[in-house]
Amino acid sequence: MTRTARAADDASAPPGYGRVMRRILTAVDRFWLDGVVVLLMVGGISEIVTNDDVEGPRPWLIAFVFLWTTPLLFRRRHPVLAPALVFVAVGVQTALWNHSVPYQFFTFAAALISAGMLGMNLITRRQRIAGGALAVATVATVVALDPEGGWTDLISTGAVIGVAWLVGYILRSNANRTAELRERAERLEREREANARAAVAEERTRIAREMHDVVAHSLSVMVVQAEAAEEMIGIDPERARRPLSAVQDTGRAALTELRRMLGVLREIEEGPDLAPQPGLAGLDALVAHVREAGLPVELRVEGEPRPLSPTGDLQAYRIVQEALTNALKHAGPARAHVLVRYEAADLVIEVTDDGRGYDPDTDGGGHGLIGMRERVAVCGGEMSAGRRAQGGFEVMVRLPIGAAVAR
């Protein structure tokens, strides 16, 4: 019967049928060997009672049937001791009545089961050797005390017992290998999940940093422009329109950037065209934007410009953007200077202003500086930021060429 047919039968069966069948199958799987042991017990007693060839006191032989079967019922609690006691009982019975064992089929069956258990449950090499030695010694005792026994009986009986031991050993090896593979698969799955969570956390941090830079810069410009418009609206309404127009343009640009980043978050594969990632090529537009917001900025590029990798280009742009945003928010009436210098081994970025300076402890949480340091760390660079001796604030970043420049 196929799995689909069984599922159909379970679906058409009365409620609770599947649960009852699972319990029955579980019980059978757990207790089938107990049933076999009970059959061996009954068969051994019947064999002694009905077989006239068995020599020895039958009450004692019946008692020994219980001695070489009952321990197997406690195999779960004593997986090694139980089969060992079976071999001991068989050996003692043979030593007392040498003709009582060779003619008992059920005794031999119990010995086979016990040999398989020893091969399955023994763990160390010493235990395996001891279990095998016990089984061989029992077989040798039975054959030696049998007046009709010989080398052929020893070899044939020992081979059968050895095969039973080997089957148990193979089953245990396969179970250990399966458990090891399962544990390895679970460990790999846990590692994969941990790596996935770390990647998600890293990506969220990167996107949060991007959103902070975009929102902080845009809102700072909009606040400054709105304040300028408020001051001029009662004096010169026509002039007040220009900063209000700048507020609108800045808001639209910020919305475009946010839509782009939200598109990344939602993994949009098909949809409207999104704005490309900004880079140092957009510094002129950035500087012009900050100038319109009210902060005079001078931009200077030194050295031979080289193409940057997308990551390095974006990080460098964001560093300049955040530094100018901080100057716009905290420097007060001031002028700012941006220097981008291409050296032989490094890309150097310096952003300075001559305003009142910026103190993260008093001027707000300093998330912008934290974001800049994270960006520099991504590229393996160095960063310093602080008040200037002659007044104002300075941010100096040095990015290795190998980390920031495309090769």
Q: What is the pLDDT of residues 169-200, one digit of tens each?
A: 888 788 878 888 888 888 888 888 887 777 66
For residue 218, pLDDT beyond 80: no
User: What is the Cα gyration radius of the chain?
Assistant: 43
Return the pLDDT at 45.
82
Tell me the average pLDDT across 242-269: 66
Question: Of residues 149 and 37, which shows the higher confidence score?
Answer: 37
Chain-wide mean pLDDT for the chain?
76
Return the pLDDT at 273.
45
Residue 302: band (very low, low, confident or very high) from pLDDT cuts 50, 70, 90: very high
Question: Of residues 217 and 35, which shows the higher confidence score?
Answer: 35
Largest CA distance in the chain: 130
Return the pLDDT at 213.
66
Question: Of residues 319 and 49, which shows the higher confidence score?
Answer: 319
Residue 25: band (very low, low, confident or very high) from pLDDT cuts 50, 70, 90: low
Output the pTM of the full model: 0.43
For residue 107, pLDDT beyond 90: no
Return the pLDDT at 4.
47
Return the pLDDT at 366.
55
Q: Look-up: residue for tokens 């001559």?
A: 354
Return the pLDDT at 407.
38
Residue 299: band (very low, low, confident or very high) from pLDDT cuts 50, 70, 90: very high
For residue 2, pLDDT beyond 50: no
Tokens of 216: 């902080």
Please provide the DSSP assignment of 184-239 as one string.
Answer: HHHHHHHHHHHHHHHHHHHHHHHHHHHHHHHHHHHHHHHHHHHHHHHHHHTT-HHH
Contact in structure between 347 and 303 (CB atoms under 8 Å):
no
Please provide the DSSP assignment of 317-360 as one string.
Answer: HHHHHHHHHHHHHHS-S--EEEEEEE-SSEEEEEEEE-SS---H
- Please tell me the number of Cα atoms within 13 Å of 224 on its side-chain side: 23
Contact in structure between 327 and 294 (CB atoms under 8 Å):
no
- CA nearest to 319, candidates 372, 268, 272, 367: 372
Question: Of residues 176 and 5, which shows the higher confidence score?
Answer: 176
Question: Of residues 59 and 228, which shows the higher confidence score?
Answer: 59
Residue 383: band (very low, low, confident or very high) from pLDDT cuts 50, 70, 90: very high
